[in-house]
Amino acid sequence: MAEATVKTTDFVHRFLPAPNVAEAPTLLILHGTGGNENDLLPLGQALLPEANMLSLRGKVLENGMPRFFRRLAEGVFDQADLQFRTTELGDFLTEAADRYGFDAKRVIAVGYSNGANSAAAASLSGCRNSRLAAMFHPMVPFVPETLPDLTGKGIFIGAGKNDPIVPVANTVNLASLLTEAGAEVVTQWHPGGHSLTQAEVQAAQIWLQQKRGLA
């Protein structure tokens, strides 16, 4: 199957198939604010080159910059829009699996910043499409009234100890919520800020290779 670059009523996205689409896991790649469907493809290919790559462009624009859901201020999210967009993302994933022939139960979410927040929101909403997720510099998107059952789900969190956007306490809170929900959470700290570092990418790569049997 050839690479697909598609614009639908749902998401602008790119799909790069593995040689055996149906048998390979699929990385659902979610960029940060101002990114697009091309930005993190090199990250996905570095993390798990044998996987299908499904990379999306966020539909919400903030001063012309694509995002996956609205925010009211830095770190203050529009909860109604977040809930709507999380459901929308799950619906699109089901549609994309049918369209491209990959296994919707073998999806690995890979997100950075706003995209990582979107992946965290999907997990806290109880999304069962993926049993693995790699989140780079996420925040707590919301605190559910009742935690979902995430038993058997593996989550990698990459975080900076001097991140000016995501305080350390927020990262710790997110990891605690996910752990309390039953997920197996690994947090990789680095001394820097909000930028993605080679050290955390390498740590996530090792983690994914160890855990990929769950996907």
**HSE (side-chain half, CA atoms, 13 Å) at 19:** 2
The closest alpha carbon to 112, from 66, 81, 168, belongs to 66
Helix axes 168-180, 114-124, angle to 10 degrees: 30
Residue type, 68: F
Judge whether 13 counts as a catalytic residue: no
Q: Beta strands of 37-193 (E only): which ranges?
A: 52-56, 60-62, 65-67, 71-73, 76-77, 107-112, 132-136, 154-160, 184-190
Q: Give the 3-state secondary structure percentages of the chain, helix then strand then coil, rounded to 5.
A: 35, 25, 40
Judge whether 163 counts as a catalytic residue: yes
Judge whether 31 counts as a catalytic residue: no
Rounded to whole angstroms, how far apart are CA atoms 78 and 146?
A: 20
Strand 154-160 and strand 184-190: the pairing is: parallel
Determine which one of 31, 137, 163, 190 is catalytic.
163
The answer to whether 171 and 159 have CB atoms below 8 angstroms apart is yes
Determine which one of 13, 31, 113, 137 is catalytic.
113
Catalytic residues: 113, 163, 194
